[in-house]
Chain A
């Protein structure tokens, strides 16, 4: 729908008449996951923050400033652009939620800054973000697709932002958390990570629906463009990662995290993963910080772990189970 059509007529949205029940499923998921930074006791990290070296503090502020930029792009450009391409009014409504939550994410980093950092250090980092070539390059690569007239590539760019580009940044709070540092900040970042997974999944799902209707030639073209864009973003991410993490000796592990998440971004689009498992073996302590016991069941089939993994006590929905 173009802007003129949009302005000339809007129909009232009826959530009781769905064209695609995935819209309601995701709407419910996103709204039940709603949160605000105020619910996380960030001030409990002040002591921990003070144990970081000046270099580590600068790295952390820069990483969070970079993430703020991505959230800002997604909130003010990405989600609104996707709204224009929505297939159903409910999809459009889901994007309004995504746009707002990206604003919440961007706002959260400022909450972290105001709790832990000095104004001058934060101002310096924002200046750094405006001048850093690799950060600006990734922003440009995404914005170019958002400005293009190709709805499929707009979704591809959006999924890459949600499911790939954030992770060079997300690595650091997971690293601090695995060293028992900035653990409340890490809790907040985990809420963001959870949201981004739903966003990437949903936009990827809508992408796959649109792809299924395209001609085989067009499908191939989009697929080629998508891998091309991923590799372009990847090259830039590697440079960005090195410029930030070389100093603390973490670049190589961050790159594994990039590979792991690039694969998941491709999968959200329905494409096969690109990076083999030999380069996606992220440090297990990082994976544990992301998802505790992420590999606990891995051993059932290989026979090397504890024999039976019967679920831990979790509150189940007994009302729904008849036994």
Chain B
């Protein structure tokens, strides 16, 4: 068994976080693209990426910016190496939260100076899945 304190490398181009309700996980599953899930347990070994990636994150709360970005995502982005490989962000949320719809995505986009690429609700519709699949593919082409 590998030493649990060594950073876990990631090969994919999508990194995501999903709570126990699993909505974001389900969206990523439907995408069918290589993706790495950030651990739910905050005591889990730190994740380090090895190639440019797009982050998919849910939004917490329902109003204030305080606590909108899941702690696990903040923890992951506090690593300079990870942050430098972040190219864009996709946020899950609910339009019922008004201006705070997908707020985590806006906060990360601003903080890390990367584009907010897309927002979807709950686990996304088939249309969302198609849009993101196509958008992600073209986004990487544009960048290379």
Do B132 and A301 have beta carbons less than 8 Å apart?
A: yes
Give complex CA distance A185, B115 in Å.
35
* Interface bin, chain A: 35 or more
Q: A292 contacts which chain B residues (CB < 8 A)?
A: 98-99
Which chain B positions have C-beta within 8 A of A320? 71, 74
Q: Which residues on A sit within 8 Å (CB–CB) of B12?
A: none
| A311 B80 Cβ-Cβ under 8 A | no
When each residue 52-91 of chain B gets 1 if its CB lies under 8 Å from chain A and 0 otherwise, what string results?
A: 0000000011111111010100100110100100000000
Could you mark each residue 186-201 of chain A with 1 if its beta carbon is under 8 Å from any beta carbon of chain B, else 0?
0000100110111001
Partner of A194, one of B19, B60, B80, B97: B97
Quick check: is B101 within 8 A (CB to CB) of the other chain?
yes
* Pair B109/A190 contact, Cβ less than 8 Å: no
List B2-57 residues whose CB lies under 8 Å from chain A.
19-21, 23
Q: Is the CB of A194 within 8 A of B62?
A: yes
Q: Say whether A317 faces chain B, with CB atoms less than 8 Å apart.
A: yes
Instruction: Give the docked Cα–Cα distance between A323 and B21 (Å).
Output: 29
A16 in contact (CB, < 8 A): no
What CA separation (Å) do A314 and B131 show in the bound complex? 27
A273 within 8 A of B: yes
Are B78 and A301 in contact, with the CB atoms below 8 A? no
A39 → B minimal CB distance (Å):
13
Residue of A whose beta carbon sits closest to that of B94: A197
Chain A residues, CB < 8 A from B65: 314-317
Which of B62, B103, B127 has a CB less than 8 Å from the CB of A29? Answer: B62
Q: Check if B116 sits within 8 Å of A310, measured CB to CB.
A: yes
CB distance from A223 to the nearest CB of B (A): 16
B75 → A minimal CB distance (Å): 9
- Which of A53-61, A84-92, A233-241, A260-268 touches B? A260-268
Contacts of A136 in B (CB 8 A): none
A312 within 8 A of B: yes
Closest Cβ neighbor of A198 among chain B residues = B62
Complex Cα spacing A190 to B83, Å:
35
Judged by a CB distance under 8 angstroms, whether A297 is at the interface is yes
Whether B119 contacts A297 by the Cβ 8 Å rule is yes
Q: Chain A's nearest CB lies how many Å from the CB of B103?
A: 7
Q: Is A294 an interface residue (CB 8 A)?
A: yes
Determine whether A12 belongs to the interface, using a CB cutoff of 8 Å to chain B.
Answer: no
Known A310-B109, A310-B113: A29·B98 in contact at CB below 8 Å: no
Query: Which of chain B's residues has its CB closest to A272's CB?
Result: B126
State which of A25, A33, A302, A311 has its C-beta within 8 Å of the C-beta of B110: A311
Complexed CA–CA distance, A268 and B94 (Å): 11
A264 to B20, CA, bound (A): 18
Within 8 A of A (CB), among B92-127: 94-99, 101-103, 105-111, 113-119, 121-123, 125-127
A184 to chain B, nearest CB (A): 15
* Other-chain contact of A323, B83, B105, B136 (Cβ < 8 Å): B83
CA distance A3 to B76 in the complex (A): 46
Query: CB within 8 A of A197: which of B19, B62, B123, B136?
Result: B62
CB of A18, distance to nearest CB on chain B (Å): 12
Residues of chain B with a CB closer than 8 A to A197's CB: 62, 94, 96-97
* Minimum C-beta distance from B4 to chain A (A): 22
Is A311 in contact with B109, judged by CB distance below 8 angstroms? yes
Partner of B115, one of A196, A264, A310: A310
Give A97 Cβ to nearest chain B Cβ, in Å.
Answer: 14
CA distance A194 to B101 in the complex (A): 10
Known: A22-B20, A277-B127. A196 touches B96 (CB 8 A): yes
Given A201-B21, A321-B77; 4 other pairs, CB 8 A cutoff: A194-B62, A301-B118, A302-B131, A310-B110
Q: Can you list 11 residue pairs at the A/B interface with Cβ under 8 Å?
A: A33-B63, A197-B62, A197-B96, A264-B94, A291-B97, A300-B115, A301-B135, A310-B109, A310-B114, A317-B65, A322-B78
